């Protein structure tokens, strides 16, 4: 489906059906191997800024896979593949270990890691995450788990318990791509999460579609009323940034401030304590 589209898709899904199926099998096998050996996999890190102080407050870890033949494949493609092929738990563990190690080594305030809704079916998820943090030496309050709204809609006792346990451990839970799913206010209240991440599709229409301005303001007000933090995703222009700051959005993330960058680039930039200036933000990396 369209969501699985991305770089590599045209090449991978072109040609006669039997070839497409064979190619996909090969890629599955390659992904399994990449996860087992760690080869070709990496995390990119995107800084997240406080809109008050313009300083980097934390980072989001974003998976990258450089396929030996097809090159860089989009996470939307290979994460879906991992979910379908039963590889997502191993992948998720790898990503968490990697991100935690990086945050410890570079003294990063906190790191956000995306967790698949499929991983949330595991009743021991919170316990496993906690064990990895202990192994890597990262304090739980320096981890944020990002999940899409869809996970709440499963409305399962397992999901409920997991979110509760994570938060009891001190791990923050953020709702990713907020506004694109179907969360109701009652869901939000009964689950309890720490942060809303306003989806890029809203941010990109700020200042263009005034209805969107009102919706974003409403999300920010809702978050404040429920004592949640708000991050705007996909901030690409100064105008969007200014509007979000005027609206009281606490955190900003997007290409305007910094693209996702490699671990080495981020470590170097953060080591120099680069700040985004209010007028012309420094692009880290």
**CA 197 and chain centroid, separation:** 9
Among 104, 236, 245, 275, binds ligand C2E (CB under 6 A): 236
CB closer to Mg ion, 30 vs 146: 146
Residue choice 30, 149, 177, 263 for contact with ligand C2E (CB under 6 A): 177
How far does Cα 156 stand from its chain's mean position? 22
Closer of 61 and 228 to ligand C2E (Cβ): 61
Binding flags for ligand C2E, 115-154, as an x/- string (CB under 6 A): xx-----------------------------x--------
Q: Does 79 bind ligand C2E (CB under 6 A)?
A: yes
- Regarding 229 and contact with ligand C2E (CB under 6 A), the answer is no
Nearest to 279 by CA among 55, 57, 54: 54
Q: Which does 260 bind (CB under 5 to 8 A by kind): Mg ion, ligand C2E, none?
A: ligand C2E
Out of 8, 47, 254, 281, name the contact with ligand C2E by CB under 6 A.
254
In this chain, which stretch among 14-22, 69-77, 184-192, 216-224 interacts with ligand C2E, using CB under 6 A? 69-77
Please report how close the Cβ of residue 201 comes to Mg ion at its closest, in angstroms: 10
- Choose among ligand C2E, Mg ion, none what residue 180 binds, the Cβ cut-off being 5 to 8 Å by kind: none
Name beta bridge partners: 46: 60
Question: DSSP readout, the chain?
Answer: -GGG--TTHHHHT-S-HHHHHHHHHHHHHHHHHHHHH-TTEEEEEEEEEETTT--EEEEEEEEEEEETTTEEE-HHHHHHHHHHTT-HHHHHHHHHHHHHHHHHHHT-S-EEEE--TTGGG-TTHHHHHHHHHHHHT--GGGEEEEEETHHHHT--HHHHHHHHHHHHHT-EEEEEEETSS---HHHHHHH--SEEEE-HHHHTTTTT-HHHHHHHHHHHHHHHHTT-EEEE----SHHHHHHHHHHT--EE-STTT---B-HHHHHHHHHTT----SSS-----
285 binds ligand C2E (CB under 6 A): no
Pick 98 or 176: Cβ nearer Mg ion: 176
Q: Tell which positions 7-66 bind ligand C2E, by CB under 6 A.
A: 46, 62-63
Of the pair 16, 49, the CB lying nearest ligand C2E is at 49
**Span of 47-55, 151-159, 209-217, 230-238 interacting with ligand C2E by CB under 6 A:** 230-238
Nearest approach, Cβ of 184 to ligand C2E (angstroms)? 21
For the record, the structure tokens of 208 come out as 């263009």
Q: Find the shortest distance in angstroms from Cβ 137 to Mg ion.
A: 24
For residue 33, which of 75, 102, 94 has the smallest C-alpha distance?
94
**Residues forming the site for ligand C2E (CB under 6 A):** 46, 62-63, 74-76, 79, 95, 114-116, 146, 176-177, 200, 233-236, 254-255, 260
């Amino acid at each position: 489906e369209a969501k699985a589209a991305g770089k590599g898709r045209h090449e991978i899904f072109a040609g006669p059906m039997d070839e497409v199926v064979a190619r996909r099998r090969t890629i599955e096998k390659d992904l399994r191997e990449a996860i087992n050996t760690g080869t070709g996999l990496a995390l990119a890190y995107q800084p997240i800024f406080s809109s008050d102080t313009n300083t980097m407050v934390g980072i989001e870890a974003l998976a990258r896979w450089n396929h030996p033949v097809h090159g860089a494949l989009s996470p939307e493609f290979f994460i879906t593949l991992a979910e379908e092929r039963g590889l997502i738990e191993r992948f998720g563990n790898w990503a968490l270990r990697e991100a935690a190690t990086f945050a410890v080594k570079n003294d990063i305030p906190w790191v956000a890691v995306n967790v698949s809704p499929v991983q949330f079916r595991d009743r021991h998820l919170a316990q496993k995450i906690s064990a990895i943090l202990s192994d890597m030496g990262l304090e739980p309050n320096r981890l944020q788990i990002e999940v899409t709204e869809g996970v709440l809609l499963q409305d399962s006792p397992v999901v409920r318990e997991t979110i509760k346990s994570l938060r009891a451990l001190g791990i923050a839970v953020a709702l990713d791509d907020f506004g694109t799913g179907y969360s109701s206010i009652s869901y939000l209240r009964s689950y309890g999460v720490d942060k809303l991440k306003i989806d890029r599709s809203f941010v990109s229409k700020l200042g263009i579609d005034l209805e969107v301005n009102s919706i974003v303001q409403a999300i920010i007000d809702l978050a404040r009323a429920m004592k949640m933090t708000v991050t705007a995703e996909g901030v690409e222009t100064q105008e969007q940034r200014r509007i979000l700051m005027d609206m009281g959005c606490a955190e900003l993330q997007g290409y305007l401030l910094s693209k996702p960058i490699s671990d080495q680039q981020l470590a170097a930039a953060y080591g120099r304590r680069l700040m985004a200036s209010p007028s012309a933000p420094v692009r880290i990396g």
